[in-house]
Amino acid sequence: MKVKNAVREKVIYTTAVEILLVGCLTGICAGVFVSLYNILASLGEEFSRGVYAVLREKPAYIPLLFVVLFVCAVIIGTVVKALPMIRGSGIPQTEGASRGVLRFKWYQVLCGMFAASLVTIFLGLSAGSEGPSLEIGGACGNGVATLTKRNPMLRRYQITGGASAGLAIAFNAPLTGMAFAFEEAQKRFSAEVFICAFSSVASGLVTRNLIRSALGLPVGSTFTTFAFPATMNMASYGYVVLAALVCAALGVAFYYIMFATKKLFAKITFWKGTGKMLIPFLLGGAFSLLSVYAMGGGHEFIQSLGSLNEEPFEYVFRLGLAGSLIVIVLMKFIASVLNMSAGVPCGVFIPMLAIGAGIGAIMSRVCVSWGMDAAYADLLIMICMATFFATIVKAPLTAIVMVFELTWNFSSLIPVTLGVAVGYMVGTLLKTEPIYEKLLESNVEDYRKDHPVRQEKFFLTVGHGSLVDGAALREISWPGNVNVVSVLHGETEYFTTGATILYGGDRVKIETLTDDKEESLKDIEELLKPGKTKKA
């Protein structure tokens, strides 16, 4: 038994070191590509703001804008049809690849999402860079694992690590990136997930900061125009609950409207389905002509809502602040719904935060008029931003950590947690599912149309001294669609549960749905080989 434990401890140590080293390499790679992408995205937003400012002054050139939007919509639609893994923000596809239910060629996704999403930003659409940053990071992790000839299991971990690094680099928020790894990508906490996420995020952020410093660019990227009180009195928590309920209701509306619109877009078949891109592109351009805050992801809009903002807020149609906020939120809402429904390769991560912040700005004015201390106005905006996001994505931990890292204010922790809890419960009661999980299901269905799956059965032996030896089934990082049906231990065969423990020499019956029998068998065998298996 002591020998057996020593072997397992050695395997654990070797595996941890391997994940750490490859994770650092993944982070460096993601740091380079994602930093370059975000720098270009910032330049793209500045470029588009300048172009649209000229168009507002010289409306005679507006028809030319829509010709460009029309042509680019057709081109992007054709690219997305050829590379479906870059459809939308890329977050669901990355999550699927990290769990082994989807596969993609890393260089195609890296180049495709990098270029296509930058086009949407340069065109001035309501497009964020955070979602694409996440997929670019995941592609970097996939590429590093592939080029260094890591096994399929470690490749899945590196996709997770790269995606976490991509998100952390985009927000300059390491804890948010790591929270994403546990709460969204892998849906569980384990030592291996922690090591790959930590090493990738840490090395990625170091690389990011070195690059930005070398180029003379600011390293920080938190929202700096907000002022927060040291504490929030309990009497004001009622306003938090009220604002959270409004955000949650609108978040649920966003969820159902988006999927209803997605069904309508599925019926658009002209130009082999690429014609549906015309709607979000043309309408997005029209919105951007109406307001500078309808453009880009929403960083400028959120910054403009802070009480410390020194620049004047740009009104829409001379409606005043309240009316302008309502119109801007409505435009961001519609644009984000259309982008997600049509599969425009752009981020909706920050646009969702911008919508929540806009709702918060409206609610803060209402609550102040009803007696809330005006000192809590900025805090209420942050609460609504997190609540709207958590209601739709169903990732409360990520939402809470993200707001903390974007503001670096401890006083927001309890009220933000309250708001997020209200949003999460409302979404659950109204039967919404995590939006990226739902989109992943849709992506898997589309993937299987081109990659038909078959049910395969394998009878394999658990290797002695492996990490699977002595591990419960629920602790093992099985590839997607794997089901351990039964275990033959000695002369006794029994059906399994999550608590079933495997031992060296056991014969296991495994069923899986796969489009590549050899790849799946190789992936599973990596878990069972003595000294090369993986517990998660």
Domains 234-442 and 454-528 share a fold: no
Q: Would you kindly state where each structural domain of the chain is located, as residue ranges?
A: 2-214, 234-442, 454-528
Is residue 7 very low, low, confident or very high in pLDDT (cuts 50, 70, 90)?
Answer: very low
Tell me: the pLDDT tens digits for 429-443? 999 999 988 998 888
Phi, psi of 454 (to 5 degrees): -130, 155
Residue 152: which H helix or E strand, with range?
A: helix 152-171
Between 455 and 139, residue with greater pLDDT? 139
> What is the value of pTM for the model shown?
0.89
The CATH number assigned to the domain with range 454-528 reads 3.30.70.1450
Q: Where are the beta strands (DSSP E) in 152-280?
A: none
What mean pLDDT comes out for the span 196-217? 92
Q: What pLDDT score was predicted for residue 532? A: 45
Contacts from 230-234 at CB under 8 Å and sequence distance 24+? 230/411, 231/411, 232/376, 232/379, 232/411, 232/414, 232/415, 233/373
3-class DSSP state of 311: coil
- Does residue 401 carry a pLDDT above 70? yes
Return the closest-CA partner of residue 423 out of 444, 450, 394, 402.
394
Euclidean distance between CA atoms 142 and 265, whole angstroms: 31
Tell me: the pLDDT tens digits for 338-353? 999 999 999 888 999 9
Burial environment of residue 452 by CB neighbours within 10 A (0 to 12, 13 to 18, 19 or more): exposed
Range 2-214 has CATH code 3.40.50.2300 = no
Q: What pLDDT score was predicted for residue 2? A: 46
Return the closest-CA partner of residue 223 out of 174, 180, 178, 172.
172
Euclidean distance between CA atoms 247 and 477, whole angstroms: 36
Is residue 60 very low, low, confident or very high in pLDDT (cuts 50, 70, 90)?
Answer: very high
Phi, psi of 207 (to 5 degrees): -65, -45
Question: CATH homologous superfamily of domain 234-442?
Answer: Clc chloride channel (1.10.3080.10)
